[in-house]
Structure 1
Amino acid sequence: MIDVYLLSGFLGSGKTSLLMNLISQLKEEGKKPAIFMNEFGSISIDSDTVGKEKGIPLKELLNGCICCTGSEKTEAQLQGLLEENDDIDVILIETTGAAHPVEALDAVYSPLFADRLRVKGIITLADAKRWLEREKMSPQIRSLFMEQIRHAHIILLNKTDLLSESELATVSMEISNFNNTAPIIQTVNAEIPFSYIEKTLNVVPNPNQESIVSGRNLPLSSKLITFDSPVDKEEFEEWVKSLPDTVYRMKGYVPIRGITNPYLFQYAYGMVNWLPEYVKMDPRLVIIGEGIGQLEYVE
């Protein structure tokens, strides 16, 4: 299993600085990291900076979002990264500052390689100065900024050198009240020991449930369901309808009775989508949600 860390945070918060710091530390430890970067535009400015690190496998997604409509491209790039490099220890994923962290996780956690990647969690950089000035943002942008912080498993309160002691105390308290499960680390230039990140997010996985968020009191998790035999399509959809509202996303390949190849199945926000596949894919389904450890499909 390859450990995956997702670096989240609003535009200009210091994600690339964090990425460069972590690459340096991992190399010193003798580990082989690989990088996946999501650039907001069509020019790979940040990727060019990171690409100067020799011997580091790197894939990038330009002019699109790692989540939503870009998820298929993300899967293809990650699959290429895995096929081209068989000695990777860690994958560091830097999302665009416009990405919702949960949707980014959804794109990463593909059934194509669900048995090879272990997503450890989301490290979010919160720009301390921007937090104080968040009311100046438009409602939509402010909501994204807050969501990135709310879904963090570790929060790096960055650029703390730009605040007074009283301002820093205010920001730390407000963010702690907003997300009371993630440890908050005050940083300058996004400097933090990788060993701290690793220790904080490291838990022994339950063999029946691969944890996406792998930390105490962090609700989101994923579960991989495999199929030993084809299922009845209508019965399967009835089972999907019976699931609790805390199931947010499902995607994978479901074998249908009487059909040669498993169908690509996707579920989000109560909507289901079936697409035929013309090659035989492994019959397995990834479920993402809260409190899903006991979910099973029984005909």
Structure 2
Amino acid sequence: MKDVYLLSGFLGSGKTSLLSHLIEQFKAAGLKPAVIMNELGKLNFDSRSVDGDVPLKEMLEGCICCTGSEKMEAQLQMLLEGENFDVLLIETTGAAHPVEALDAVFSPLFADRLNMKGIITVADCKRWLDRDKLTPQTKMLFLEQIRHAHLIVANKIDLLTEVEASDVTMQIQALNSTAPIIQTTNSKIPLNLITKLEATFHEKEINQTAIGKQLTLSSRLHTFKEAVKQEEFEEWVRNLPDTIYRMKGYVPLVGHKNPYLFQYAYGMVQWLPEYMKMSPQIVIIGDQVNQIDIIGSSHD
């Protein structure tokens, strides 16, 4: 399995600097990294930050989340099938919600081939001090990126006074009490801090992925043993707790030859017919997903 790190953070926080440092350190450790870059604009990534020997896929004028998820899956598929690499670094656009970006990574087509190690969020300490000047929607995204992190890089700490640095660290820790916080200048962190993030573990009947030890945001890959009735499945979905954010995959339905493509986001359900025999699996993303019972399974 390939280890995957998702780099999150607000616009201009220092994600690209972090990416460059991590590439350099992985290569020094004898590991070959691959990179997927996501940009909102038409201009591509500054090639000076990624050497020519590093496999690079770029997504321009889009976001990993929403409709860009399918494009992201295609990029991942091309990397897995056509490139030789040891570790994958994904830099999201600063406008991406971390849960939605994570959803794109966990395609049921290859979820069992990728080991999501965690979300590393770069937090701009100077912007944190001025966060109340942001629009409500922008501020919410800024906070959500920090809230869902498994490791927080408190960047641009050199621009703060000692008192400001202490206040920012405590305030961020209060927002996300489970993620370690690393104070940095130019997003420089030692490699061992991210490689310590907890890897995938498996159980007999269910593949469960816990992203980070003692961290709540997690994903779970479930394989169906038999077809389920659509009405009963939707009833199960309606009774899920609010802590389940996203689901995506192929659900085998009674009376249908092939599993249906199923998507769920924030209470909304979508079904699409599939004309190929896809593996009957769904990926569930949320808080403590290993604690929920999945319909039609006596092993959960």
Q: TM-score, normalised by structure 2?
A: 0.92
**1:78-107 Cα distance to aligned partner (Å, 9 max, x none):** 11111112x321110000111111111111
Distance change in 2, residues 1:11/1:36 (3 Å): same
User: What's the secondary structure of 1:91's corresponding residue?
Assistant: strand
User: What is the Cα deviation at residue 268 of structure 1?
Assistant: 1.8
Contact 2:208 2:290 in 1 (8 A): no
From 123, 133, 136, the counterpart of 2:133: 136
**Residue in 2 that maps onto 1:150:** 147
User: What is the Cα deviation at residue 138 of structure 1?
Assistant: 1.6
**Residue in 1 that maps onto 2:30:** 30
Structure 1 residue runs of 5 or longer lacking an equivalent are none
State the distance in 2 between where 1:183 and 1:124 align.
11
State the distance in 2 between where 1:12 and 1:70 align.
21
From 161, 166, 171, the counterpart of 1:169: 166
Q: How does 1:167-206 map to 2 (within 5 A)?
A: 167-199=164-196, 201-203=197-199, 205-206=201-202
Contact 1:118 1:212 in 2 (8 A): no
Contact 1:4 1:120 in 2 (8 A): yes
Contact 2:249 2:280 in 1 (8 A): yes
User: What is the Cα deviation at residue 28 of structure 1?
Assistant: 0.9
From 87, 100, 104, the counterpart of 1:107: 104
**1:257-277 Cα distance to aligned partner (Å, 9 max, x none):** 232221101112222211011
Q: How does 1:9-24 map to 2 (within 5 A)?
A: 9-24=9-24
State the distance in 2 between where 1:285 and 1:150 align.
25
User: What is the Cα deviation at residue 212 of structure 1?
Assistant: 4.5
Identity over the aligned pairs, expressed in percent? 62
**1:15-41 Cα distance to aligned partner (Å, 9 max, x none):** 111001000110111111110110120
Contact 2:248 2:262 in 1 (8 A): yes
Q: Give the count of matched residue pairs.
A: 294
Contact 1:221 1:290 in 2 (8 A): yes
User: What is the Cα deviation at residue 222 of structure 1?
Assistant: 1.5
User: What is the Cα deviation at residue 203 of structure 1?
Assistant: 4.9
Contact 2:201 2:210 in 1 (8 A): no
Q: How does 1:216-255 map to 2 (within 5 A)?
A: 216=214, 218-255=215-252
State the distance in 2 between where 1:123 and 1:91 align.
13
**Residue in 2 that maps onto 1:95:** 92
Amino acid at match of 1:61: M
Structure 2 residue runs of 5 or longer lacking an equivalent are none
State the distance in 2 between where 1:256 and 1:204 align.
29
State the distance in 2 between where 1:292 and 1:209 align.
12
State the distance in 2 between where 1:203 and 1:229 align.
29
User: What's the secondary structure of 1:243's corresponding residue?
Assistant: coil
Contact 2:37 2:45 in 1 (8 A): no
**1:178-211 Cα distance to aligned partner (Å, 9 max, x none):** 2111111111111111111111x12562424532
From 56, 59, 63, the counterpart of 1:58: 56
RMSD (CA atoms): 1.7
1:277 and 2:280 matched: no
State the distance in 1 between where 2:164 and 2:242 align.
39
Report which stretch shifted further, 21-30 or 158-167: 158-167
State the distance in 1 between where 2:159 and 2:168 align.
12
Contact 2:207 2:222 in 1 (8 A): no
1:120 and 2:117 matched: yes
State the distance in 1 between where 2:233 and 2:130 align.
49
Amino acid at match of 1:64: G
Report which stretch shifted further, 235-244 or 144-153: 235-244
State the distance in 2 between where 1:98 and 1:146 align.
12
State the distance in 1 between where 2:18 and 2:49 align.
11
**1:143-180 Cα distance to aligned partner (Å, 9 max, x none):** 11111111111111111111121211121121112211
**1:198-251 Cα distance to aligned partner (Å, 9 max, x none):** 11x1256242453242222x2122211112333222232233233333222211
**Residue in 2 that maps onto 1:49:** 48
User: What is the Cα deviation at residue 291 of structure 1?
Assistant: 2.7
